[in-house]
Amino acid sequence: MGKVALITGITGQDGAYLSEYLIKKGYTVHGIKRRASLFNTDRIDHLYQDPQLNDRNLILHYGDMTDSMNITRIISDIQPDEIYNLAAQSHVKVSFDTPEYTANVDGLGTLRILEAVRLLKLTEKTRIYQASTSELYGLVQEIPQKETTPFYPRSPYAVAKMYAYWITVNYREAYNMFACNGILFNHESPLRGETFVTRKVTRALSRIALGIQGEVYMGNLSSKRDWGHAKDYIKAMYLILQQDQPDDYVIATGVTTTIRDFISRAFKEIGVIVEFRGEGANETGEIIGIDKDLFVDKIGEAYLAAIQSRIGEKVVKVDPKYFRPTEVELLIGDATKARTKLSWEPQYTLDTLIKDMMTSDVKAMKKEAYLRDGGYRIMNYFE
């Protein structure tokens, strides 16, 4: 019989990729979803509809990380072999507005999982993966960051995740539990939440190219992130729980890039050349040229004249409302331990990640443009 996994945060980016990955490996996957006033299972709905995947292998339960009894009951009913604790209020900027809630979900939520496993006497059976984060390094004390680099969290999110990191280590040491931290650096995909910077950019640039958005307002363009693809990173989560001994691992690509450069590369992917000028809140990104063949190939002939008429216009601007009270300026990870001990290797580069995200968002935004125009652009949508 296949293994049983419980994924908290199954409706999020990582939960969606991980659940598909585990079902394909023969797992029965249980997930905790929140009650919402609108449908919130878009990212996993296809798992029910795919005839290749047995829909009985995916079972959803209503729940919330703030509700100890709910979590304990679900774990008691399921008796999982593995728990992947991915649920979190995961937006760093939002954590400054909702610090107590973020601490409750991201910090105490992890304790609730660990304590439920302990009280239910499942410590020998159930392995636990905790979604730790490169945000723990915050004001970095070492470059690049690895498992032994001291933490210096810079947001309520990161401080909550620091509690979760250490309570996971503590339960491992105190109760001999198979509980592990994956210290994952930023990972993105077409399923990334729309308010994280990469997805905000790939959506906005697609809309600008299609003429349905004029410009995009950004925050700090100079911060640097080590971005990988979520499809590569969920494989590391799985590998971490398959080892003989529980341990903590950094998962990263080892390449860091500014937000500014990410925007330039995403524009370049569709044949739009931008140049950045100015500093801080006065910095702007201006269209300085179009690679016609590439633009026609990626976006469509019908949109070419409109984008060419915008050469010389500023399409990226800065709005200080997106600045954070304390910023994490530089992240770059050293995943040597994961590469060596887990044999983990990312398949995607930053350019193939950008290509994947732009292709997906251009397609989605063409559909939006088509619907907005009442079918007028039908030829372009289907080209």
Check if the beta carbon of residue 96 is closer than 8 Å to that of residue 156: yes
3-state SS assignment for residue 169: helix
Q: How far apart are CA 371 and CA 47, in angstroms?
A: 26
Q: How far apart are CA 45 and CA 29, in angstroms?
A: 14
Q: How far apart are CA 97 and CA 99, in angstroms?
A: 6
DSSP string, 37-54: SS---TTTHHHHH-TTS-
Q: How far apart are CA 210 and CA 204, in angstroms?
A: 10
Give me the least distance between CB of 294 and ligand F7E, in Å please.
26
Give me the least distance between CB of 54 and ligand F7E, in Å please.
31
Active-site residue, 233 included: no
From 17, 137, 157, 370, the catalytic residue: 157
Rule CB under 6 A: is residue 133 a binding residue for ligand NAP?
Answer: yes
Helix residue ranges, H only, 35-108:
45-49, 68-78, 92-97, 99-102
Rule CB under 6 A: is residue 322 a binding residue for ligand F7E?
Answer: yes
Rule CB under 6 A: is residue 186 a binding residue for ligand F7E?
Answer: yes
Check if the beta carbon of residue 87 is closer than 8 Å to that of residue 121: no
From 8, 11, 126, 133, the catalytic residue: 133
Binding mask 22-61 for ligand NAP (x = CB under 6 A): ----------x-x-x---x---------------------
Stretch that binds ligand F7E, among 46-54, 70-78, 248-256, 321-329 (CB under 6 A): 321-329
Q: Is the dihedral of CA 295, 297, 298, 302 positive or negative?
A: positive
Q: Which does 11 bind (CB under 5 to 8 A by kind): ligand F7E, ligand NAP, none?
A: ligand NAP
Check if the beta carbon of residue 177 is closer than 8 Å to that of residue 114: yes
Q: Which of 28, 57, 90, 102 binds ligand NAP (CB under 6 A)?
A: 90
Rule CB under 6 A: is residue 225 a binding residue for ligand F7E?
Answer: yes
Binding mask 243-262 for ligand F7E (x = CB under 6 A): ----------------x---
Q: Which does 218 bind (CB under 5 to 8 A by kind): ligand F7E, ligand NAP, none?
A: ligand F7E
Give me the least distance between CB of 341 and ligand F7E, in Å please.
22
376 CB-contact burial (10 Å; exposed 0-12 / middle 13-18 / buried 19+): exposed
**Largest distance between two CA atoms of the chain:** 67
Give me the least distance between CB of 34 and ligand NAP, in Å please.
4
Q: Which does 200 bind (CB under 5 to 8 A by kind): ligand F7E, ligand NAP, none?
A: ligand F7E
Give me the least distance between CB of 369 and ligand F7E, in Å please.
23
Rule CB under 6 A: is residue 85 a binding residue for ligand F7E?
Answer: no
Active-site residue, 157 included: yes
Q: Which residues are part of the catalytic machinery?
A: 133, 135, 157
